[in-house]
Amino acid sequence: MGIWEMLIVAVGVSMDAFAIAICKGLSVKKLETKHMISAGLWFGGAQALMPLIGYLLGSRFTDAISRFDHWLSFALLALIGVNMIRESREETEKLDDSFSAKAMFPLAIADSIDALAVGVTFAFLEVSIVPAVLLIGVTTFMFSAAGVKIGHRFGAKYQSRAELAGGVILIVMGISILLEHTVGR
């Protein structure tokens, strides 16, 4: 997987965090830089940690499933993508304006569960994990920090679009992986 493909995956994975950050921005009465940094650190950190965990788990099974790993990668990315598209169509839930660990930790973990499956996919594709998780973490940090500001300034109209775009990106990446491993074989 090249750098551009990795960046596309990083952006796709970041879209859920971006959507949540927009909601957090909506809930803040007086936006401060610390709100944007907090969201970026919580979401970026969790989105970097989960693929690493998924990679470590997935790398234990790569030999056993190497004949059909591309199908599993496609299925995982497509499932995550379809779920993000489905969530983009649902009613937006109201989030509180707290950026405390008690408020942010569960959001960051719940948001990054999908990234665990991405990490498993990385193991199957033998992706170099350290640059991958750093890119995902930094990308998510930037999108999350920007999402808080955008949510505070413009409102909820971008949340569902971000989730929709992220879902489509992940599905396209899954199809690309599948085609790369099946066409011409």
Sequence spans of domains, the chain: 3-90+98-182
64: alpha, beta or left? (left if phi > 0; alpha if psi -120 to 50): alpha
DSSP-assigned letters across all residues of 36-75: HHHHHHHHHHHHHHHHHHHHHHHTTTHHHHTTTHHHHHHH
Contacts of 56 (CB under 8 A, 6+ apart): 119, 123
pTM score of the predicted model:
0.73
Mean pLDDT of 139-143: 97
Most confident option among 5-9, 51-55, 64-68: 51-55
* Residues 6 or more apart in contact with residue 120 via CB below 8 angstroms: 54, 55, 57, 58, 72, 76
Q: What is the pLDDT of residue 103?
A: 84
Identity of the amino acid at 84: M
pLDDT at 41: 97
User: In angstroms, rounded to a whole number, what is the distance separating the alpha carbons of residues 144 and 135?
Assistant: 14
Across 56-70, 113-127, 165-179, the highest mean pLDDT is recorded for: 113-127
The pLDDT of 121-127, averaged and rounded, is: 87
Tokens of 21: 């950050």
Confirm if 43 and 20 have CB atoms less than 8 A apart: yes
Mean pLDDT of the chain: 82
CATH of segment(s) 3-90+98-182 = 1.20.1250
Q: Are 10 and 166 in contact, with CB atoms under 8 Å apart?
A: no
